[in-house]
Copies of this chain bind each other. A is one copy, B any other.
Amino acid sequence: MSSEKLLAIDIGGTKIALGIADHASFSSSGEFQRVEKFPVPELRRPELVIPVIVDRSLQLLAREHPVAVGISIGGPLDHERGVVLNFPHLPGWKDIPLASILAEAFDSPTTLDNDANLGALAEYHWGIGKGANPFLNLTISTGIGGGVILDGKLVHGVASGGGEVGHITVQTDGPLCDCGNRGCLEQMASGTHIAERARELVRERPGEGRRLLEMVDGTIEKIRAEEVLEGYRMGDALATKAWLEAAEYLAIGLGSIIHVLSPERIVLGGGVAMAGDDLITPVRERLRDHVFYIPVDCIDLQPASLGHDSALLGAATMVALEVES
């Protein structure tokens, strides 16, 4: 009897998620039969983590080998060769041929893609991106990632660089990004940056941002993007400045993407986008200052409709589509 199970694996910086789906019903339901999450094993190197992933997956599969395995991971990778080029959140995850290692372990075809691309695929098939063409999914959390879908297919481009929209230049003379470029979208509008900017403003302007400081008991270092959003909601001038600056840079970055692809729908997901309309409304407003020849109202800007497991769902969707074709 041949296997009917799909296995999806999402490897994050702190936790790993596994999902098992029945192939036949998944294609119409987009639902997992079982999902399990566990912290990344303490010795976080690949040679120690990968065997744990295999072991727990086989337990979850009740030893049945899967018809296909889809893996999601953050950071630069080579989709075609199935190699993790560099996963900066875990030590030693550099040039790891993860797809072929897991293909051998499970004796199943195995495909690897990054979490932002797979989040886009999930929103396109099961969420608010449904049928949009072109479709862009932007994930705004500690960093900024993206996924582009055209005619129903993810755009990988050469060296799997498609959708790496966090590194679009939005502030020409801006600060150096970890990547080496200056003023990257990720550098100017990620959750990490929103928090840093608010802390900087609090230090620069003593006496201001009192509401923000009250939330963190006066400890500037404790200010996170969540507090900045809360401060913006309460009308704190300093939090508002930090929040709206990020919205402005998001609009500049989205403006540049719009002038390349003119997406029918753009979905904002990730932790920062949990702000919902408090992010969408100012970004939409600022887009009007950056996009003119293309009518902004033709482009549907929406908050993500799927939760944190969208990359896991995308990983299963990717391999379900491959098995079908």
Contact = CB atoms under 8 A, between A and B. Distances in A.
A173 B183 CA distance: 13
Contacts of A150: 150-151, 155
Contacts of A180: 289, 292
A163 B261 CA distance: 6
A48 interface: no
B293 A161 contact: yes
A252 B169 contact: yes
Contacts of A163: 260
A46 interface: no
A43 interface: no
Interface stretch (A8-16, A194-202, A220-228, A294-302): A294-302
A295 B181 contact: no
A1 interface: no
B260 A158 contact: no
B134 A181 contact: no
Nearest to A264: B158
A120 interface: no
Copies of this protein in the assembly total: 2
A67 interface: no
Interface in A158-211: 158-174, 179-181, 183
A68 B149 CA distance: 31
Contacts of A298: 158-159, 161
B168 A262 contact: no
Contacts of A183: 172
A269 interface: no
Contacts of A161: 258-259, 262, 293-294, 298
Q: Is the interface of A mostly helix, strand, loop or mixed?
A: loop
Contacts of A173: 172-173
Contact of A172 (B148, B165, B172, B292): B172
Nearest to A169: B252
A261 B165 CA distance: 9
B134 A164 contact: no
A302 to B, nearest CB: 14
A120 to B, nearest CB: 13
B262 A260 contact: no
A263 B158 contact: yes
Contact of A156 (B156, B174, B262): B262
A213 B144 CA distance: 48
Interface centre among A134, A168, A293, by most chain B C-beta atoms within 10 angstroms, is A293
B262 A299 contact: no
Closest 9 pairs between A and B when the two form their complex, measured CB to CB: A157-B262, A161-B262, A161-B294, A180-B292, A168-B256, A179-B292, A162-B262, A159-B298, A158-B298
Interface of A: 76, 134, 146, 148, 150-151, 153, 155-174, 179-181, 183, 252, 255-264, 289-295, 298-299
21 contacts: A134-B155, A146-B260, A150-B155, A156-B262, A157-B263, A157-B294, A158-B262, A159-B262, A160-B262, A161-B258, A161-B294, A164-B262, A164-B293, A164-B294, A165-B259, A167-B291, A169-B170, A169-B255, A172-B172, A172-B174, A257-B260
